Every structure is written in structure tokens, then in C-alpha cells.
Amino acid sequence: MVALALKDLGANYGRARVLSDVSIDDLKSGSVTAIIGPNAAGKSTLFKRIASLIKGPGLVELSGTQAGPRTICYMPQDTAANAVLTVYESVLLSAKQGSSWRVADEELIEIDRVLKALRIDDLAFRGLGELSGGQRQLVSLAQALIRNPEVLLMDEPTSALDLHRQVEVLSFISETAKRDGLIVLIALHDLNHALRYCENTIVISNGKMVASGETNAVITRTMLREIYKIDARIEQCSQGTPLVIVDGAI
């Protein structure tokens, strides 16, 4: 069992401090945690800092020791397309990052499995530049999953997907986390997805962590009013799942 701890994490862009004092302990393997908060709150910055893509104060620890870069994989919010590569090549390249260039049969089988699970196996030999926005996002997801990291940071992984794909992808991420013992953090704007798929939630606002804990306890009417500036109700649906119903902006 691996556990992720963040200790007083912060980040600057130039001289501007955009994130400070984010601390959390014990995000356990197999768990899925939502990172929520308004635009420009610092969610992507937090991910980049955890993945060591930007520098700043604080420590990222995995089971008490400083996490190495290969154990943490960051799926960015914007999916850039390298038009020269095919889907298959781009996923293979991602699988080989930081390891030997020899390709084992098991790796090819695993690529097939991930492409099939995300239902993009029919795109395997298409160029990345020829894909729709949602298809590109699914390829980006495949590139992240194939690396089989201990910590997977997914920055709005469903923002370009249709409803069917959103549900399919979030279920797949949640099953993969449990099956492979990953620690998954997902930045989300859809709070109903957080309520349904994420056991824990961290709220970022103005570069600070303002709440964290079990999702049901964190997403409250008061939090939505204070942080999101909306009037909203949390109601149980007929099947017992809590839902956010928005009445309007304050």
C-alpha cells in the first residue's frame, strides 16, 4: 500500500505566488480524489508542482520518501497534437519514456488493451493531427494510463468528451485505480462527477487549499456559496446518489 503526502506545497510563476501551503497526508493507493475550484484557482499549478514540472517550496512524498519523477504521471489539460505520429506510436512512445527502447510483447498487448478499453483501437494508425478534440483527449488518457505510474494526475480528463464517453472514462479510471492500486487525482469542474466517482475531494481557491475530506462532506451548500458564488442545493436522487442542483449565480 502506497500513500501520497503533500507538505506545504507552493508555486510561483516569476515573482507571483499562485499556490501556497497545500498539505495533505495519506492519499492511499486505489483512491480517486477530485481537485475542484474556480477557474484560475491553482488546480493545474498544483498538478504541475506535484509532478515537479515547476519548482516551489514544500515536499511531495510517497510512503515517506521523496517521490521520483517516474512514479508520477501528469495528463495535461490541453492536449497538443504532434501531427507526425500515429495514435499507436504516440502511446508506445509514452510507454517507453524513461525506459529501454526494446519493446516486449507484453507492452504491445497492454497498448491494445488500453486502446480497446477507451474504444479508440480503430484509430490506432490515424495521425494525431487528424483527430477530433475528444479523440485527442482519449489518446492523451491512453498515454497516461500506459505508463502505469503510482500517482496519476488528470487535469480535466473529460472536458472534451460526450456524456457517454465521460461516464465510461471515469468508470474506467476508477476501476483501474482499484485494480492496479493507483493514487488518482482528477481536476474536475463537474461536481456531480466528483460526487459519483471520487471518494475524496480537495477544494482549491485563490491558490490555497480551503477544504479537503470525503466528497460528501466537502461539497456542501455553504462551500458552493462561498467558493463558487452560486446558490445550489445538494439533493439525493431517486437512487440515493447526491446531486448538485444549481439555482443561480450570486
Ligand X SMILES: Nc1ncnc2c1ncn2[C@@H]1O[C@H](COP(=O)(O)OP(=O)(O)OP(=O)(O)O)[C@@H](O)[C@H]1O
CA–CA gap between residue 91 and residue 63 (Å, rounded): 29
Q: Write the interaction track for ligand X spanning residues 179-218; mark x where CB under 6 A is met and - where it is not.
A: ----------------------------------------
**Interface with ligand X includes 44 (CB under 6 A)?**
yes
* Residues 144 and 75: beta-carbon distance below 8 Å: yes
Q: Which helix (H) or strand (E) holds 3?
A: strand 3-13
Q: Which is nearer to ligand X, 30 or 38 (CB)?
A: 38
Within 15-34, the residues that bind ligand X by CB under 6 A are 18
Rounded least distance, CB 79 to ligand X, Å: 14
Q: Which of 151, 141, 155 lies closest to 44, judged by CA? A: 155
What residue 59 binds from ligand X, Mg ion, none (CB within 5 to 8 A, per partner kind)?
Answer: none
Rounded least distance, CB 202 to ligand X, Å: 12
**DSSP 3-state of 93:** helix
| CA angle at 34 for the pair 33 and 35, rounded to the nearest 5° | 120
Q: How far apart are the first and last CA of the chain?
A: 44
Applying CB under 6 A, among 8, 17, 23, 40 the residue interacting with ligand X is 40
What residue 13 binds from Mg ion, ligand X, none (CB within 5 to 8 A, per partner kind)?
Answer: ligand X
What is the total count of residues that contact ligand X (CB under 6 A)? Answer: 11
Place of cell 486505489: 30
Interacting stretch for Mg ion, rule CB under 5 A, among 38-46, 200-208, 220-228, 238-246? 38-46
Q: Which is nearer to ligand X, 40 or 108 (CB)?
A: 40
- Which triple of cell numbers denotes residue 34? 477530485
Rounded least distance, CB 203 to ligand X, Å: 11
* Residues 72 and 151: beta-carbon distance below 8 Å: yes
**Interface with Mg ion includes 44 (CB under 5 A)?**
yes
> 15: number of CA atoms within 13 Å, CB side?
0
Binding region for ligand X (CB under 6 A): 13, 18, 37, 39-45, 77
